[in-house]
Amino acid sequence: MDIAIIGSGMAGLATARILKDAGHNITIFEALPGRGMDSHSTEFEGGLIDAPLRVMNPHLWKNTLSLAAHLGIQTFPVRTYMACSWLFEDRTETWLTTSRSRIGNFPIINNRKGLQQYGWRLVKGMLQLKAAITRFFKSKEQDITLAEFINQNDIEEVFWHGAVMPVLYTICTCNPKTIGEWPAKPLLIFLRQLTDGDALLRIQGGTPALVDKLVEGIDIQSGAAITKVCQQNEQVLVENASGDHQIFDRVVVATPTTKIEEFLDAAQFADDIALLKKFKFEQGELVIHTDQTVMPPKRKDWAVLSYMMDRKFTRQQFTVWLNSIEPSLVGKTPVFQTWRPVTEIDPKKIISSVTLTRAVVDSQTVALNKELQQRHLATDRKVFFCGSWSCDGLPILESAVTSAMHIAEIFGAPLPFVGLKPKVEVAPQLGY
């Protein structure tokens, strides 16, 4: 069949690759002048900046890493140590830094102040969380939010809000209130895996290398937004802002649902639009810069992840130190990505600012997804929808790839990559 994919984020590209390999003729439409998935990646002093930076836990990103392995893409292990600092006082004070044990590769506290002032509280909190998670998965009441889970369990505040929640901000890239409304189960599965000895994996060449493989041999029409999707008998008309129009047998819409009213025929797709508008999204700013004030004051305390917060945990931000995790940036000027900065970033040191859209996961999304997948099974359906928002779980690459797999199953397309283990090479010498 001739199939149009609207949107070139991870869900659209994965769908395109799977259906192309199954023998279909694929055309990808992208509003941006390029590829959506790596549109914010840029070069810095001859090195690569991925925006956002992507590293993957092999337990939680199974489908994404299997797809990368199927495409022949190599990965390498990275160690995401963290540093936590108090903000909004006379001076910034780093109260916790971590590393990994030589045996087992488990996270450990490696600064004296962290051990002396907070060590027992952090250990106590870790034991409390472990016990609470065990009770949760043994119970029959697993349909609760993360906020309800926290309220039901007495977990040491410094450990939970100072060390655990910042990690969830990193994964979910959303605000604390939104995270609290998430179903607890997928987040607790993530936390249960957090202390596993396996390193996180990064794709060699970053996101552009993955996108290059995903789009190989596929026609991409970029730089013009879709303005119309209209079913005409057994086919679907697709038009874009440049005035081009083409006829397809099927269309897969792989964009946030906030965009659908701009092009879906309002009369033909009234029921779909009403359902899709119930999905929620939020936006945040990712600032790429060289301002070192987002890091601990002492260089020896710098880590891949720098979390800064006030002592009441009402304001926080996290920063990724890119040089410590991207080989092509080793030896370059220190460069950072800060998500939703609450401290002022020197405007002269900003390389770029990127607005990212993330799906909001709450108790409603499970039911909405079930309804959407049921509609996809209708024999007369010609237009389908996918994205990280259409798959329960963390709104990351994994959800996007899994949603593409759901579309592939409807089309009867094989999934030869399922279960493949990532191709892990020796870690590059980063020098940190």
Number of helical (H) and strand (E) elements in the chain, helices listed first: 13, 21
Cis before residue 77, ω within 30 degrees of 0?
no
Q: What per-residue confidence (pLDDT) applies to 374? A: 94
Q: Which long-range contacts (CB under 8 A, 24 or more apart) does 272-276 make?
A: 272/375, 272/383, 272/385, 275/368, 275/371, 275/372, 275/375, 276/372, 276/385
DSSP 223-288: SS-EEEEEEETTEEEEEETTS-EEEESEEEE-S-GGGGGGTB-TTTTHHHHHHHTTSEEEEEEEEE
Mean pLDDT of 158-177: 78
0.85 exceeded by pTM: yes
Does 395 have pLDDT greater than 60?
no
Q: What per-residue confidence (pLDDT) applies to 104? A: 47
Token reading at 141: 């009441």
The domain made up of 2-44+206-279+362-424 is a member of CATH 3.50.50.60: yes
Task: For 193-245, write each residue's pLDDT tens digit.
Answer: 765 555 688 999 999 999 999 999 999 999 999 999 999 989 999 999 998 99
- DSSP helix/strand/coil, 100: strand
CB-neighbour burial class of residue 257 (10 A; exposed 0-12, middle 13-18, buried 19+)? buried
CA distances from 288 to 201, 284, 335, 351 (A): 22, 13, 7, 5
* Residue 55 neighbours by CB under 8 Å, 6+ apart: 78, 80, 200, 201, 202, 325
Cβ(262)–Cβ(238) below 8 Å: no
Q: What fold, for 62-203+282-358?
A: Polyamine Oxidase; Chain A, domain 2 (3.90.660)
Q: What per-residue confidence (pLDDT) applies to 194? A: 64
Mean pLDDT of 251-274: 94
Does 142 have pLDDT greater than 70?
yes
**49 pLDDT band (50/70/90 cuts)?**
very high
Angle at 200 between CA 199 and CA 205, to 5 degrees: 125
**Low-confidence winner among 68-72, 91-95, 131-135, 323-327 (lowest mean pLDDT):** 91-95
Q: What per-residue confidence (pLDDT) applies to 329? A: 95
Percent of the chain with pLDDT strictly greater than 90:
54
| Whole-number average pLDDT of the chain | 88
Strands 219-222 and 25-30 turn out to be parallel
**Equal CATH topology for 2-44+206-279+362-424 and 62-203+282-358:** no
Mean pLDDT of 245-262: 94
Phi–psi pair at 209, nearest 5 degrees? -65, -40
- The domain limits of the chain are 2-44+206-279+362-424, 62-203+282-358
Does 102 have pLDDT greater than 70?
no
**107 pLDDT band (50/70/90 cuts)?**
low
Q: What per-residue confidence (pLDDT) applies to 428? A: 62
Mean pLDDT of 27-42: 90
Q: What per-residue confidence (pLDDT) applies to 431? A: 47
pLDDT higher at 349 or 393? 349
